[in-house]
Chains A and B, each alone.
Chain A
Amino acid sequence: AQTVTQSQPEMSVQEAETVTLSCTYDTSESNYYLFWYKQPPSRQMILVIRQEAYKQQNATENRFSVNFQKAAKSFSLKISDSQLGDTAMYFCAFMTLTGNQFYFGTGTSLTVIP
């Protein structure tokens, strides 16, 4: 069975600083997708970034980038130049290609401090 672990329940960062959220996963599959989702308070969940396991290059979306270490089964999210609007719950997620299952981590609550 696949598992997704986010070991940091809560984090905070000063505005304009950089923060890294951790995620590890466990799978025996070789091909899969990884995602980071953001759920702002009382707002809808949105996709932040995705990474295909077969790609060695780390995905980047503006201020958001990932550090994907396939051998270590690690998928961390780096947020640069943090903004107040980045305050949200962040979920790491894993998708299998064979079983068509989707697994979320327990989330990290990030607070950006002005």
Chain B
Amino acid sequence: KAGVTQTPRYLIKTRGQQVTLSCSPISGHRSVSWYQQTPGQGLQFLFEYFSETQRNKGNFPGRFSGRQFSNSRSEMNVSTLELGDSALYLCASSLVQGFDEQYFGPGTRLTVT
């Protein structure tokens, strides 16, 4: 069974631009969660989607948004990029809603210049 895949793996953007990251969960998994990993803040939970609905949300500004499609694939969007948004963005999938038994993808490394 294929693992969690994230595209693109690396991305360079300029301040003020917007970016969309994609995550394909393990086949059969219906929950996708997103995390931001930075050296200073560590790993922080962004949001979780289950059955195309956002179920849980971390403490991030509205510039961070996401969505989930009927095939459980999820996208995360960051608008008006700031230098501080440079990070590794991880997504994780699980069979059911919640964070139990999460399987992580390799991440998308976003650099904002």
Contacts and interface: CB of A to CB of B under 8 A. Distances in A.
Q: Of A37, A43, A44, A103, which is in contact with the most chain B CB atoms at under 10 Å from its CB? A: A44
Interface stretch (A11-19, A57-65, A72-80, A94-102): A94-102
Given A45-B90, A47-B101, A102 B42 contact: no
Contacts of B107: 44
Interface string B86-113: 0000101000011111111111000000
A68 interface: no
B64 interface: no
Instruction: Bin the interface of chain B by size.
Output: 20 to 34
Given A95-B98, A95-B100, 10 more contacts: A33-B100, A44-B107, A47-B102, A47-B103, A50-B100, A99-B56, A100-B99, A103-B45, A104-B43, A107-B43
Interface of A: 33, 37, 43-47, 50, 91, 95, 99-107
25 contacts: A33-B99, A37-B104, A44-B3, A44-B4, A44-B106, A44-B107, A45-B92, A45-B104, A47-B101, A47-B102, A47-B103, A50-B100, A91-B43, A95-B99, A99-B56, A100-B55, A100-B56, A100-B97, A100-B98, A101-B45, A102-B33, A102-B45, A104-B45, A105-B42, A107-B42
Interface of B: 3-4, 33, 35, 42-45, 48, 55-56, 58, 90, 92, 97-107
